[in-house]
């Protein structure tokens, strides 16, 4: 079956199959996770983020712009981990393009290419210091390849996905040459292969394949705290993540000044301002300082701090 237009129902079904396929490869993606720290949760974070967005899509929705709006909002607010926040920003850009035309019901391949380009731009802009050899590189190079292919209005979405996936695979194999951490570990980038599995899931739907979802274990990881003592070395600091609601009762908020301050307090920063809400992911040895800085401007809607060691 030929698909030359992306409508709301197709968009929803493609997201569903993308999440299913990624879920089926979750443990593989987690096992490859060595950058920025080897915490083995890239696949889990991507799936949790995407499921949060998909879960917000109302069953009765069929219009493309309506589904894109529902998906994007929940995706960004529910984003988890470095990889999850980057993926949420990528799809936010895609959905922003869809929603830029009020009432838009379909996208052809040239428009879909432009949506992907905007997604890449949003993903890069959300990262304080973008690192090549990661999911960012894979998404960008695959999208640039589609742009150079000059797909016409009558092109099939299946061909667009095939070109994206093929080029993304080439980009993925090159990630160790761009990021020494990957080469030292003898792996490719975990986020990069994660986004490929997501797009391959979409391709499988287009091809009419049946795809069961094995799913991700929901059981909590058991940590042996007896391994730590007074002499333990804690090398990685804390993965700190929050969604902050800006409030009128707090100090006036300056986004640029806040970003500049936060950049002095940690790394692996992924930041976005969503209306009157701030989403931040950061690795830092002083999460208490970051929280105090953020708390000046509002109240935390969600908050997570994990010792990465």
C-alpha closest to that of 168 among 90, 99, 245, 227: 90
pLDDT at residue 125 greater than cutoff 90: yes
For the chain, give percent helix, strand, coil, nearest 5.
55, 10, 35
pLDDT at residue 155 greater than cutoff 90: yes
- The Cα 57–Cα 170 span in angstroms is 33
The pLDDT score that the predictor gives to residue 65 is 92
pLDDT at residue 222 greater than cutoff 70: no
pLDDT, tens only, 166-220:
999 999 999 999 999 999 999 999 999 999 999 999 999 999 998 876 554 444 4
Mean pLDDT of the region 282-301: 95
pLDDT at residue 307 greater than cutoff 80: yes
Listed in order, strand segments (DSSP E) in 121-213 are none
List residues bridging with 307 in a β-sheet: 238
pLDDT, tens only, 37-46:
666 788 999 9
- What pTM was computed for the model? 0.83
- The Cα 67–Cα 234 span in angstroms is 44
pLDDT at residue 154 greater than cutoff 70: yes
- The Cα 118–Cα 289 span in angstroms is 34
* Other CB atoms within 10 A of residue 150 CB: 10
- Report whether the peptide linkage leading into residue 267 is cis, meaning its omega lies within 30 degrees of zero: no
The H-or-E segment that residue 300 falls in is strand 298-307
pLDDT, tens only, 73-89:
899 888 888 899 999 99
The pLDDT score that the predictor gives to residue 176 is 95
Contacts of residue 11, defined as CB under 8 A and 6 or more positions apart, other chains included, come to 64, 67, 68
The H-or-E segment that residue 75 falls in is helix 64-77
């Amino acid at each position: 079956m030929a698909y030359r237009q992306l409508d709301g129902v197709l968009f929803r079904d493609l997201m569903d199959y993308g999440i299913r396929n990624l879920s089926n490869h979750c443990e593989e993606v987690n096992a490859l996770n060595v950058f920025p720290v080897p915490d083995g949760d890239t696949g889990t974070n991507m799936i949790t983020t995407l499921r949060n967005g998909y879960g917000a899509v109302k069953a009765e929705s069929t219009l493309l712009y309506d589904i894109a709006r529902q998906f994007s909002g929940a995706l960004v607010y529910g984003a988890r981990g470095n990889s999850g926040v980057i993926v949420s920003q990528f799809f936010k850009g895609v959905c922003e393009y869809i929603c830029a035309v009020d009432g838009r019901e379909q996208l052809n391949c040239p428009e879909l290419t432009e949506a992907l380009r905007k997604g890449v731009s949003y993903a890069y802009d959300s990262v304080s210091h973008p690192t090549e050899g990661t999911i960012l590189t894979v998404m960008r190079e695959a999208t640039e390849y589609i742009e150079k292919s000059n797909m016409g209005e009558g092109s099939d979405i299946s061909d667009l996905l095939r070109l994206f996936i093929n080029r993304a695979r080439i980009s993925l194999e090159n990630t160790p040459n761009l990021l020494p951490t990957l080469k030292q570990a003898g792996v490719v980038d975990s986020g990069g292969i994660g986004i490929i599995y997501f797009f391959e899931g979409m391709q499988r739907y287009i091809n009419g394949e049946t795809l069961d979802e094995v799913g991700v274990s929901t059981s909590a990881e058991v940590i042996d705290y007896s391994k730590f003592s007074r002499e333990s070395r804690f090398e990685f600091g804390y993965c700190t993540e929050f969604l902050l609601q800006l409030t009128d009762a707090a100090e006036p908020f300056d986004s640029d000044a806040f970003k500049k301050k936060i950049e002095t307090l940690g790394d692996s920063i992924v930041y976005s301002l969503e209306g009157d809400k701030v989403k931040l992911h950061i690795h830092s040895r002083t999460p208490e300082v970051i929280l105090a800085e953020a708390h000046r401007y509002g109240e935390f809607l969600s908050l997570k701090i994990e010792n990465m060691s």
